[in-house]
Amino acid sequence: MSLHIKGGTIITSDHTFVADLLCVDGLIHSIGENISNDRINKDTEVIEADGCYVMPGGIDPHTHMELPFMGTVASEDFFTGTSAGLAGGTTMIIDFVIPNPQQDIMEAYHQWRGWAEKAASDYSFHVAITWWDESVHKAMETLVHDYGVNSFKHFMAYKGAIMADDEMLVNSFQRARELGAICTVHAENGELVFHLQQKLLEQGITGPEGHPLSRPPAVEGEAANRAIRIAQVIGVPIYVVHTSCNDSLQAITRARNEGQRVFGEVLAGHLLIDDSVYTHPDWDTAAAYVMSPPFRPKAHQAALWRGLQAGMLQTTATDHCCFCAPQKQMGREDFTKIPNGTAGIEDRMQVLWHHGVNTGRLTKNEFVAVTSTNAAKIFNIYPQKGSLSEGADADIIIWDPERERTISKETHHQNVDFNIFEGMTVRGVNQVTISQGKVVYQDGELRTERGVGRYINRPAYAPYYDAIDKQMVRHAPKAVSRN
């Protein structure tokens, strides 16, 4: 099976040039001007891309499909969610295995793998460490060595459920370092969040407006700094998910300026939506925006854009976790019971192009980096993913920079009854999505197939740790002899 993309402008994270691209058997076979060889025949599908940009498919490194959470299950499953992603130009997700406290880690992993068998696009998993004993220590090794997991998630929030305390962080970070894995953290001080929630409820604040009040920026900044410092002492790379405020951005910036291996992720929503949504007069509308960390005042959005431009934040994601209005109603009388989560996988690429590239905040090459290539590099699947190069997976999008689209829940493919970008008109739209060398979306027509998505192994980072170990030995102080 072959596919010939003709006449487009190819944009990668570091190059822009006009060329044809030939895909054969799910891989990129060749790139160049006027490709002609024995692989092109009468059965080769041809797509004319004149006037369009040809870019690597997006990678969303932070999604939660069909997640059991807060007494319900996210409305988006692995088929509907990855299909919506493909419509918007995202060709791979990295989702999360989140074991219940005391649940066998491998049991949870296989449970999530079973749910994901219906995926329409390629996928992988971070695995959350939600409790600790010797079996978890052993399971982490099994996951790294046998199942291609190279990242472990730690929730510093959600006290009484999946929160990781400092002891758990230290144990898990140390084990990840030994295995050549990266640690990711949801940075919010769970003790402070719980304390503030109780105070607000005692004051009679029960609506969605209580959500951001219980999770102020300082709560996130403290947790980010603490996790980064623990990682610094142990010597393990750390990835801070959904950085939503200047407080945590400053912690990341300080550490990176000191040479620490720290990476920051920002959500499209946190770049574009402010906390005024929580005071909307309609309860259902305000509740629809409840996610953690919450949306912040406008000054934080400006800071996050600067962080993305400066390279202090390397990736963009969605934290796609959908709950419909009846599910949000579970917290009608108590904001702490509103299921946390919003959608975005279909719209991430387009809102970032419109508000990033069209405004001059991002170059086209930087757009590719922050929506695809950087995630592939950080999670060690580059150049298989995140690149347009010979031998790479044929995950490709064809982008029309002049086409416009108005975002709406009435027309999106996401399985949720609300869109946080409702009514936003964007210029720069995905026209064609190619996954595994096959057209799965074209000119508004979705052609996804249930279960064709593949699990992608992500190798460990052993060479990096070997170098760190050698450096530590070289600079270690000599023992002092005391008689």
Bridge partners (DSSP) of residue 393 are 27
Instruction: Give tens-digit pLDDT for 402-449.
Output: 999 999 999 999 999 999 999 999 999 999 999 999 999 999 999 999
The token pair at 148 is 């291609």
Query: Per residue in 416-436, is it b (16+ CB within 10 Å) or e — as a string?
Result: bbbbbbeebebebbbbbbbbb
The pLDDT of residue 482 is above 60 = no
Instruction: Give tens-digit pLDDT for 69-83.
Output: 999 999 999 999 999
What pTM was estimated for this model as a whole?
Answer: 0.96
| pLDDT of the residue at 34 | 75
CA pseudo-torsion sign 106, 338, 225, 314? positive
| Length of the chain in terms of residues written | 483
Instruction: Give tens-digit pLDDT for 444-475.
Output: 999 999 999 999 999 998 644 454 455 544 44
| pLDDT of the residue at 448 | 98
∠ CA 448-450-454, rounded to 5°: 95
* Cα end-to-end distance, the chain, whole Å: 77
Instruction: Give tens-digit pLDDT for 98-120.
Output: 999 999 999 999 999 999 999 99
> How many Cα atoms are found within 13 Å in the side-chain-facing hemisphere of 72?
19
Give me the mean pLDDT over the 13-24 stretch. Answer: 96
Residue of 373, 468, 311, 477 whose CA lies nearest to 59: 373
Q: Determine which of 26-40, 223-237, 255-269 has the lowest per-residue pLDDT on average.
A: 26-40
CATH number of 1-483: 3.20.20.140
Bridge partners (DSSP) of residue 27 are 24, 393
